[in-house]
Every structure is written in structure tokens, then in C-alpha cells.
Amino acid sequence: MAYFVVLVSAFLVLSAATALRPGRRGLSAILAYPVGWAAGELPVQGIVSQVALLGLLAWWGWPSVAWLELLIDVLAVVSVAQNLMLVFIAFYSRRIVRRAMASSPVAPLKISRARDDEFGAWWRTAMQFPFHPRDMQLVKNVVYGPLPRQRLDVWRMSTTPLHAPVVLYVHGGSWIMGDKREQGRPMLHEFVRRGWIAVVPNYRLAPRHPWPAQIQDVTRALGWVKKNIATYGGDPERVVVSGGSAGGHLAALVALSSKDATWRPGDLADVVDWSVRGALAFYGVLETTGDEAHWRGLGRGIRILLERRIVQVPYEGNEPFYRAMSPFDRIGADAPPFFVVQGRNDTLVDVQVARDFVTKFREVAHAPIYYVELPFTQHAFDISASPRTSATTRAAVAFAESVVQRPRLTSSLVKSYQVPPTELVVKVSTGEWVGAREAARELGPFTVLTSDNPFSNALSAEENAQRRGELHADLRRRGVRVRHAIGRDPMGAWPVEEGFALLDQSIEFARDLARAWDQFAIYDVSEDHVLVRSVDTGEVLR
């Protein structure tokens, strides 16, 4: 019995060590995910197991050999200490998540505390099993296409209000396995309890169905949501898409390709709007060329997987095809807001993939992106209902609620917009405020936008000042040359709005930026004219 206790205790020690510092080469790399995940997400169970082993040994009879007794004591102490460290890390993740969301350079968010969870009670977190709410209504295997895997589940509560926001969750599994019943459950249960509708589709899997079958099915599922979710009480105009691992890749890709008709099914031609309000990618495969600058040693593995099992064509000679499926290569100025979560100890998707995606997004896109990087955290950590998962769930909810609460720049909303009579002045290099056309004689043609009063909803002076500060910081970070500008209604019927004249930037750049800041219009200024252009169409409003 003593030798059995030694072997199991040694395994617990090595498992916890793998969770804290996973290997990346040889056998240790192969075992890093399955062993490290279990130890990292179940440290309390590890402590209980170690104590139970000692109790069993005490009942059986403590060994009389001194060195064996010492070895058992040392292994037990190390095992318990390691697992206590993992427990501390799981709870400390709450602070890391709060700081990450609050320190976002654009539109920082404050997230709630554990006591504010609607479903993630402390005892559920302690058990770590993702039980669903007993009063949750589950509509299973709704057909969204003609093929066997094109089925989805709809989750909602009996009390879910009409026109509820929708989260479309895509499961992971390396594009070759997985099922809609298995992943993302702790987070989705919280969303559903908070009045959201969750839609969880299956999709065709490789290698039987090579790429792009997977993204075609997810795109079709999004089209089904846009066309049919109102029947279940959902709002097709307020949809966010989410997923983990390969599901994070598919969610990010469908969010970044809303204007690309390549993967859209022909029988959903009546769906006009394929955009989503935001995307949530958990440990997602956000780059698919296997570039080692992003993957840091794991790129060869992802490329082999894609070449042999998923895409089934070689990378060489088909580089554009691989880049087309890479979210990193699809980031554009008009990308929707993103929420990205990545574990630093992830041995399947290197943390640098997420870091580089976030860096490029902040350089290119105008929408905010929120990045949470979790130390000592392995791939697929959120399968269990741990304190770490509850923390990232609260952040995900805060992000999703922030993006669906913002109004959309729809054609009907634009038609309701009234262009007020305005006077526009710009601060020139001498420090003087001059008329816009006079400023253009010194500065050259420019555009002017403001972040004040989004969609003509008047905010307080403090709120507008905060938004202007965030916009100005974003412009400085992008290296955009600006001058301060003020637009005012000479009749005094609308509050004075401060903004920025953008020098050496195109009208398209200004429109994309204004759209991200919830504005109807921008100024197009030259020596000859001051025009008000629609952010939606670019047409002159007056």
C-alpha cells in the first residue's frame, strides 16, 4: 500500500507541476494538455485525493521504513502546496480579469463581482460541474440546413423577454470533433439566466468534410438566426458570436467576413444583414498560416493538421486560400468589437497568437477590443465552472451587454436624423479659432468628427469629455494628425460639440471611425465647401 501511495502522490506532484509549467517538447508536450488541464482546473480535488491517500495509508498501516515514510511526507507536502498555489491562481484570476477590462485603451468596462452572478452561485463554482438552470427551456435539434450535422439547439428561459439579445456559440474540437452539447456551458447558462437566447449549432467536421464546410455551416447558422430567431423571441439585430479553440476561429472569422459573400448559402439570399454586434474568442485559433512569428514553435503542428486533415491541400501554392481562412488576415477598419481570452500556459494555441491578433486589431480596427490574458491557464479552461471561468464569464457578459445596448446605424435611423444648422470652427497652429474654410486654406482639406452625444442622445458634459479623451488617445496611438474643432448650433437648439479635424486622412477612414463612435455624420471641409456627409452611405446630407 505504501508504494501505491508513493506512485499516486508522485503522479499528483507531476500533474500539478505540468499545470504550473507545461512542457513544449517530446512526451511532456503530448501530456501537457490532458494532464495539465485536469490538474489546473481541479486543484481542490487534487488536495482531497492527497489527503484521502494519507488517510488510507494511516488506516492500512504506516510504513516502518524511515526513507519511505520521509518520501511519502515530502510528496504529500509538495502536492498539497502545488495545488494550493493553483487554487490561489484560480481566485486571483478574478482580479486579473477586472483589471484587463478596466484598462482597455478604448471604452474600458467595469465588470460585476461574483455575488452578482445570476446563475453561477458559489456552491456551483465549488462543485465545478456546469449544471444548467432547471427552468431553462431547451429546444433541441432545430434544422438549419438540409445536411445531418446542420442542427442547432436554442436555449432560453420561460421568462426571457421578447426581442432578447442572442449569443451564437460555436463549439471547438480542432474542426474534426466536438458537439453542441459539450462546451461553453457555464458561460451560456449565465447568459440565458440574464435574459439572453443562446443558439448552439453543430457543423460538418473534417476530414470527411474538408474546409470550407465548417465556415459555410456556421455562416448558414448565422443566417438562420437572422431569419428565424424572432420566432423564439430573439432580436436578429442584436447578435454576438462566440466560440472556443476551433470554435473561436470560426466565430472570429464569421464576424470579420460579414461583407464577404463567399461562404453564404444561396438559399438565404433574402438575408441582407450578415453582421454581428461583437465576437468573443476563447483561446481561439486566430491565425491559420502557421507563421512561427505568431506560433513560436507550434506553427508546424497547426499547419500539418490543416494540410492533412482540415483543408487537405498543401500550404505552399495555396497561401491565399489559407490567409482567407485566417482571422488575423481579415482584420479591417470596420471590424466589430472583440473580446479575446487566452491562457498563458496554453500548449495548443500559443499565447503570442492572441497577442499579435490584439495588437493588429488595435492598429487597424476602430472598434474596441478587450484582451484577457490568464497566467498559468491551459487550453479549454472554461469547460469546468471554476472561479476562473466565472470571472471570464462576467467579463464576457459585460462585453456582450455593452455592444448590444448600442443602437445600430440602420437606414431607418439615418432617415430620422435631422442635420442641424451648424457653425464649425477649428483651432489652427497659431492657437486661434477660425472658420472651417479658412482653416482649410492653412491646413489643406480635412474631415471633422466628434464622439459627443452618440446617435444624437445628449450625454452629460463629463460623459462627453471622457469619450473625447478616449477618441483623442486612439487617434494619437494611430499617429493621426489632428486639430481641435467645435461645432455649434447658432440658434442654440443643440449643445456645443467638440471634436477633431483629421488631417491627411481619407473620408472613408473618417466614416469608419465615426461609425465606431456612434455618429450619424462627419464634416468634409475644403477651401470651397463645408459638407455634412452620412456615415452610413457617404452621401452629402446638406
For 262, the grid coordinates are 463567399
Q: How confident is the model at residue 25 (pLDDT cuts 50, 70, 90)?
A: confident
Q: How confident is the model at residue 26 (pLDDT cuts 50, 70, 90)?
A: low
Average pLDDT of the chain is 92
The model's pLDDT over 501-523, given as tens digits with 9 standing for 90+, comes to 999 999 999 999 998 898 989 99
The model's pLDDT over 252-286, given as tens digits with 9 standing for 90+, comes to 999 999 999 999 999 999 999 999 999 999 999 99
Q: How confident is the model at residue 418 (pLDDT cuts 50, 70, 90)?
A: low
Question: Of all residues in the chain, what percent carry a pLDDT higher than 70?
Answer: 95
Phi and psi for 44 in degrees, rounded to 5? -65, -40
Helices 43-60 and 2-20: crossing angle in degrees, nearest 10, is 170
Choosing from 117, 346, 512, 536, the catalytic residue is 346
The model's pLDDT over 333-368, given as tens digits with 9 standing for 90+, comes to 999 999 999 999 999 999 999 999 999 999 999 999
Q: How confident is the model at residue 488 (pLDDT cuts 50, 70, 90)?
A: confident
Q: Is the per-residue pLDDT at 124 higher than 70?
A: no
The model's pLDDT over 149-179, given as tens digits with 9 standing for 90+, comes to 999 999 999 899 999 999 999 999 999 999 9
Does the global pTM surpass 0.85? yes
Architecture of domain 104-405: 3-Layer(aba) Sandwich (3.40)
Q: Is the per-residue pLDDT at 411 higher than 70?
A: no
Q: How high is the pLDDT of residue 63?
A: 81
Tell me, yes or no, if 379 is annotated catalytic.
yes
Choosing from 9, 15, 245, 386, the catalytic residue is 245
Choosing from 189, 209, 366, 379, the catalytic residue is 379
The model's pLDDT over 230-240, given as tens digits with 9 standing for 90+, comes to 999 999 999 99
- In terms of C-beta density within 10 A (0-12 exposed, 13-18 middle, 19 or more buried), how is residue 20 classed? middle
For residues 533 and 522, the answer to whether their CB atoms sit within 8 Å is: yes
Residues forming beta bridges with residue 521, ordered by sequence position: 534
The terminus-to-terminus CA distance of the chain in angstroms comes to: 88
Phi and psi for 286 in degrees, rounded to 5? -90, 5
Q: How confident is the model at residue 64 (pLDDT cuts 50, 70, 90)?
A: confident
Q: How high is the pLDDT of residue 61?
A: 83
Q: How high is the pLDDT of residue 127?
A: 64
The model's pLDDT over 12-24, given as tens digits with 9 standing for 90+, comes to 999 999 999 998 7
Domain ranges in the chain are 2-91, 104-405, 411-534
Q: Is the peptide bond before 207 cis (omega within 30 degrees of 0)?
A: yes
Provide the 10 A C-beta neighbour count for residue 528: 9
Q: Is the per-residue pLDDT at 141 higher than 90?
A: yes
For residues 442 and 486, the answer to whether their CB atoms sit within 8 Å is: no
Question: Of all residues in the chain, what percent carry a pLDDT higher than 90?
Answer: 75
Backbone dihedral region of 504: left (phi > 0), alpha (psi from -120 to 50 degrees) or beta?
left
Q: Is the per-residue pLDDT at 303 higher than 90?
A: yes
Q: Which residues contact 429 (CB under 8 A, 6 or more apart)?
A: 442
- In terms of C-beta density within 10 A (0-12 exposed, 13-18 middle, 19 or more buried), how is residue 461 classed? exposed
Give one DSSP letter per residue of 457-497, joined into a string: -PPPHHHHHHHHHHHHHHHHHHT--EEEEEEE-TTSSS--E
Q: How high is the pLDDT of residue 536?
A: 83
Q: Is the per-residue pLDDT at 90 higher than 90?
A: yes
The model's pLDDT over 212-236, given as tens digits with 9 standing for 90+, comes to 999 999 999 999 999 999 999 999 9
Tell me, yes or no, if 245 is annotated catalytic.
yes
Tell me, yes or no, if 346 is annotated catalytic.
yes
